Amino acid sequence: MKKKKCIAMLLAGGQGTRLFALTNSVAKPAVSFGAKYRIIDFPLSNCTNSGIDTVGVLTQYQPLILNEYVGNGEPWDLDRSYGGVHTLPPYQAKHGGEWYKGTANAIYQNLHFLNEYDSEHVLILSGDHIYKMDYSKMLAEHIAHDADCTIAVIDVPADEASRFGIMDYAKDKHITSFEEKPKNPKSNHASMGIYIFKKDVLVRELIADEADKSSVNDFGKNVIPKMLAAKCKMYAYQFDGYWKDVGTVTSLWEANMDLLGDKPVLDLDDSLFKIYSRNQPLPPSYIGETGKFINSIMTTGCEIYGTVINSVIGEGVTVKEGAVIENSIVMQGTVIGRNVKISYGMIDENVVINDDAVIGDEQSSKDKIALIGREDVVEKSAVIRSGEIVERSAK
Amino acid sequence: MKTLGIIFGNIHDKDIAELTAVRSLASIPFGGRFRLIDFALSNMVNSGITKVGVITQTNYQSLMDHVSNGKHWDLSRKNGGLIMLPPYGNGDTKPIETGFDEIRSIRSFISHSDEEYVVMSDCDNVCNINLADVVQSHIDNHADITIVVRNKELTNNKPRTIIETDEHNRVVKVINTDKASGEKTVFANIIAMNRKFLLGLIDSAAENNYNSFKRDIFAKNTNKFRIFAYMQTGYFANVDSLSNYYKHSLELLNKDIRDELFYRDGANIYTKVRDSAPCKIASTAAVTNSLIADGCVIEGEVKNSILFRGVKVAKGAKITNSIIFQDTVIGENSTLNCVIADKLVNILDGRMLSGHETHPYYLAKNSII
């Protein structure tokens, strides 16, 4: 078989604890986004749109729904006879097995996968960001620089810089310093958690990192600083498109809202760079005589008889007469009863909200979102306050 | 109960000349994101049929593009799956006029299949029917031929095949006429047979002078063959004229019909996936009693209408009682009433177009108004 130029390894094992009830039973990359997508659709579609046809998806936390969703990769055109998408969970071997300890260790435990494809370069991605990016441009720069490692960077507001890995680079883009979550950031060039390594360099560094007992086996904390100290050829790739970490309820809400408006900040209506997803075979959405749907988006199979304002409505959602939904996210398969009021709510998949329930209050805001967990049932006339989290008792 | 599916892809093209000018009947868009053939294909797949031959004669590029290798219907199979059957140009100039002619033209496909049963369907039947049930009744009745029938109020003078049965649903009389009126039981253009029985009909066609299922095989042999009727009671629309197309399309605005057609016992209708972005309805828009597909961007008013994928409606535009196909753009302050706009039509600003409910105004593909 002809060797691949570059394969991708997608870190999708994170729990996403700051998404609370949304990730009780699914991994963060499988959380619904933007009416018809899940977060993982973005890195997977980016790969396809960048000509990368081999993707290892490293799963660990609550992998079942994620595994089923990714399946054979067909929706992303990643069902290939050589390559394609592979889910890579931790496994037991003759001498035992262990969970993925950190981002670098997760890749280390799958060195066999890297060696099997033996591509020239390896792209490391994470499954918790919303962005459209053509990785082939980054790969071209990486190759032109003959870099050992290229890190994608985006400029963030100075007051947020201490949440990220911050680096400084020279005019020719070679990286001069890197600090993970610094107290006093030297610049606002933040690492996007997207790396391209020469495959041989990556294998060498991962083996060395694994041997280092003091390491926590994390790319940002260990591997990158060590390589920089060892004077490896490390370059930055400056990205200036839309990029959003959706690790918190508020940031997930904001990213959804970025799809609304006449000129949305995040425009997915682009036939040259489609975001692919796996969807149900449903008819188009119906807006009834009593329905009002204003400055909002939805996908197929919805039945709208109530009022929806500034909201994102997922696949197959029903909104009954008299219901008013404002500034909210409603995920797939959920049923909103008659005269229900929702303000700044985030309603997970397959929830039933019975008639006359009120979710949110005058205190509601994007920082006080009421969150209803997957498959929950909200009783008739129930009152759920802003910022409250309702979840089914754990099974 | 292995069953082979066969779909007639062009059979009534001339019925809707407007919509079939640039496509086969099978690939006429329907219901906001579907094509007519999606119903026949999905019915077969939902009934456990994993090998489907689609017979085509003319204008089949759009159909090939739509069905591709059948993967959207789960028919991209190692064994069987979707098989396109375009005309086999062997210099034989005998014109193909009937469904039976088409079946004769694919004799080798039928004889090389190993399924015990065959279900043949026209491509303009809009319904959600369990064909496994049809085949089961065929077996239970020890029938030679089972035909799907439905009750229909006949009003116009279209040619119909009227079916009369005894109390055991055995067909006793088949009348082909264009003069009937009132409530009748009519043939619904779906036939089930044992595959070997069908081969027998093909091979004895010359000596028995069989040229048509309806006129010869059914009408003249109710004594010779055990022909049984299977009554389809659920929603069934036969799209056989532009005004009927319009009428049946707008019936989808009725929730009961949507439920019957798209959600019967979890049997969905599959179609080619286009991966459009979600539809976006702006703050200047007002949309009521309408079906809106993915990829639409609506800034104007839409009422009692069906918008296919990627339709753009600018501010101040007003669309009522209309069907707008994929990627058509409607300019600012334009007004459309009772219009069927084909794909990629560009309606500039301030246009005013109106048809009538019985005579919708049709705009051809790619036209600029």
CATH of the domain at B325: 2.160.10.10
Q: Which residue from A269, A279, A297 is facing B273, i.e. has the nearest CB?
A: A279
If one counts the domains in chain B, the total is 2
pLDDT confidence band for A253 (50 / 70 / 90): very high
Contacts of A293 in chain B (CB under 8 A): 281, 285, 287
Residue listed under structure tokens 């019936």 = B251
Amino acid A163: pLDDT: 86
The mean predicted confidence, pLDDT, of chain B is 93
Specify whether B318 is located in the same domain as B233.
Answer: no
Q: Is the predicted pLDDT of residue A394 greater than 60, yes or no? A: no
Question: pLDDT (tens digit, 9 = 90+) per residue, B299-318?
Answer: 999 999 999 999 999 999 99
* Residue B273 maps to a domain: no
Selected for mutation to probe chain B from A297, A319, A327 (highest B CB count within 10 Å) is A297
Residue B123: helix, strand or coil by DSSP? coil
Q: Which domain holds residue B148?
A: 3-268
* Shared domain check, B103 and B13: yes
> Do the chains contact at A294 and B71, CB–CB below 8 Å?
no
Tell me: do B242 and B293 sit in the same domain: no
Whether residue B291 is found in the same domain as residue B225: no
Place of tokens 């010869």: B216
pLDDT at site A395: 45
**Nearest CB neighbour to A287, from listed B252, B273, B287:** B287
pLDDT for B201 beyond 60: yes
> Per residue in A145-177, pLDDT tens?
999 999 999 999 988 898 889 999 999 999 999
Please report whether residue B369 resides in a domain: no
Residue A17: what pLDDT? 81
pLDDT in tens, B204-254: 999 999 999 999 999 999 999 999 999 999 999 988 889 899 999 999 999
Please indicate if any CB of chain A lies within 8 Å of the CB of B181: no
DSSP B256-286: HHHHHHH-GGG-PPP-----PPPEEE-TT-E
Residue B274 lies in a domain: no
Q: Does A259 touch chain B (CB under 8 A)?
A: yes
Torsion of CA B51, B55, B60, B61, to 10 degrees: 30
Q: What is the mean pLDDT of residues A237-257?
A: 95
Q: Note whether B329 and B180 are same-domain residues.
A: no
Contacts for B273 with CB less than 8 Å, ≥ 6 apart: A75, A279, B72
Helix, strand or coil, per DSSP, at residue A34? coil
* Domain-ending residue, one of B248, B268, B288: B268
Query: What angle (nearest 5°) sits at the alpha carbon of residue B169, between those of residues B257 and B227?
Result: 105
Q: Are residues B161 and B249 in the same domain?
A: yes
User: Pick from B212, B244, B268: which residue ends a domain?
Assistant: B268
Q: With 70 as the cut, is the pLDDT of residue B320 above it?
A: yes
Question: What is the chain A residue with the closest CA to B268?
Answer: A281
Output the pTM of the full model.
0.93
Q: Which residue of A has its CA nearest to B258?
A: A283
pLDDT of residue B104 exceeding 60: yes
Domain boundary among B239, B268, B297: B268
DSSP A95: T
Say if residue B170 is in the same domain as residue B69.
yes
Write the single-letter amino acid at A10: L
Q: Phi and psi (nearest 5°) for B23?
A: -165, 170
- Give a yes or no: residue B165 inside a domain: yes
Give me the mean pLDDT over the A105-112 stretch. Answer: 94
Q: Nearest C-alpha of chain B: how many angstroms from A324?
A: 15
Residue B101: inside a domain: yes
Examine residue B328 and state whether it is found in any structural domain, yes or no: yes
Helices marked H in chain A — which ranges? 41-49, 63-70, 103-108, 111-117, 135-144, 199-211, 224-229, 249-257
SS3 for A383-394 is EECCCCEECCCC
Give CA torsion, residues B59, B65, B70, B74, to 10 deg.
Answer: -130
pLDDT digit string, tens, across residues B129-157: 999 999 999 999 999 999 999 999 988 77
Q: Is the CB of B269 less than 8 angstroms away from the CB of A283? A: yes
User: Is residue B275 in a domain?
Assistant: no
B187 and A CB contact within 8 Å: no
Residues of A in contact with B42 (CB under 8 A): 281
B312 and B213 in a common domain? no
Which CATH number fits the domain that encloses residue B17? 3.90.550.10
Closest by Cβ to A300, choosing from B71, B294, B299: B294
| B226 shares its domain with B90 | yes
Q: How far is CA B216 from CA A272, B181, B220, in A?
A: 53, 23, 5
Does B173 fall in a domain? yes
Shared domain for B251 and B126, answered yes or no, is: yes
Determine whether the interchain pair A283/B253 forms a contact, defined as Cβ–Cβ distance below 8 Å: no
Same domain, B249 and B297: no
Contact of B251 with chain A, judged by CB distance below 8 Å, is answered with no
Instruction: Mark which residues 11-70 of A lie under 8 Å from B by CB.
Output: 34-36
* Co-location of B179 and B291 in the same domain: no
